[in-house]
Amino acid sequence: MKFKPMHAALLAAALVSTSAFAQEPIVIKFSHVVANDTPKGQGALKFKELAEKATRGRVKVEVYPNSTLYKDKEEIDALQMGSVQMLAPSLAKFGPLGVKEFEAFDMPFIFPDKQALYRVTSGPVGKWFFNKLEAKGIHGLAYWDNGFKDMTANKPLRVPADFRGMKMRIQSSKVLDAQFRALGANPQVMAFSEVYQALQTGVVDGTENTPSNIFTQKTHEVQKHMTISDHGYIGYAVIVNKNFWDKLPGDIRTELEGALKEATAYTNRIASEENEQAVEGIRKAGKTTVYTLTPAEKAQWRTAMAPVYKQMEGRVGKEALQAIEKAVA
């Protein structure tokens, strides 16, 4: 009997903490490496807005841009460990995880245009790629667009011979490594957050990226030349920690799926425009000569890079390559 007041106090404390817990929102930490004013940066913020609205505050999305939480490779490890719940890495960054098939997206000139790309990502082929992630404890939710890549350096890059001996920064993709070796360059894998300084200090001579990434990272301030070549593609897989996702209440998962669908449409709608504006921004900054390849020069690039397909078929797998090639045809 004499313990009764104690019991009551404990019960009251338990009730308070249970109701406090019930009101705690589910937190989704969404980490990425680019600036807010890029297609991915805007997409992440749009998802935050829509997800919080759709779940009426039951979910809180914390967006961490610009590698403020994790760099390229670290962020995928962090997702697997559950330190973050959501990412959107470039499709070129799944090799170190052991999912090499995604590197098929890095093949030179594989997508003739955005429509061909969407035929791949929006259909069964896109799903087939996502299934490869499940065994790694990762669930793929959507593909987000960025755009086609261009080259930068401190010298004009117009024909394949111009690349000879150049140290070029690449994402962690063996296909990109092969692409630059085919041009006679020396590729170097480097985290996105380190590129500006590496270019500034001459650790590397040049790089490839989309105009929106080049502009927002101020790459154009340390590179005198940019070649509009559209020789490859950068897009993203929006992924979540599978365990986290599977354990969400069903109604919340449905609301988040709806928010993501809308955020995906938004991102893919703004991507081309963001990249066009970035090219304008680079031109206006006046520090970089922007050159567009002629069709004849582009043909030379295609020929020089063509061997990459045979060289890398064993790595990305025939199935992945053929699935993409069939969908784009």
The residues of the shown chain that bind ligand LMR, judged by CB under 6 A, are 33-34, 40, 90, 146, 171, 192, 209, 213, 234
Nearer to ligand LMR, 251 or 276 (CB): 276
Nearer to ligand LMR, 33 or 256 (CB): 33
Minimum distance from CB of 209 to ligand LMR (Å)?
A: 5
Minimum distance from CB of 28 to ligand LMR (Å)?
A: 19
Three-state SS string over the chain comes to CCCHHHHHHHHHHHHHHHHHHHHCCEEEEEECCCCCCCHHHHHHHHHHHHHHHHCCCCEEEEEECCCCCCCHHHHHHHHHHCCCCEECCEHHHCHHHCCHHHHHHHCCCCCCCHHHHHHHHCCHHHHHHHHHHHCCCEEEEEEEEEEECEEEECCCCCCHHHHCCCEEEECCCHHHHHHHHHCCCEEEECCHHHHHHHHHHCCCCEEEECHHHHHHCCHHHCCCEEEECCCCEEEEEEEEEHHHHHHCCHHHHHHHHHHHHHHHHHHHHHHHHHHHHHHHHHHHHCCCEEEECCHHHHHHHHHHHCHHHHHHHHHHCHHHHHHHHHHHC
Greatest Cα pair distance, the chain, in angstroms, is: 94
Nearer to ligand LMR, 85 or 173 (CB): 173
Minimum distance from CB of 76 to ligand LMR (Å)?
A: 12
Nearer to ligand LMR, 55 or 267 (CB): 267
Minimum distance from CB of 215 to ligand LMR (Å)?
A: 12
Nearer to ligand LMR, 54 or 104 (CB): 104
Give the residue at shortest CB distance from ligand LMR: 90
Minimum distance from CB of 90 to ligand LMR (Å)?
A: 3
Minimum distance from CB of 194 to ligand LMR (Å)?
A: 10
Nearer to ligand LMR, 234 or 316 (CB): 234
Minimum distance from CB of 33 to ligand LMR (Å)?
A: 5
Nearer to ligand LMR, 47 or 54 (CB): 47
Residue 139 CA to residue 151 CA, distance in Å, equals 32
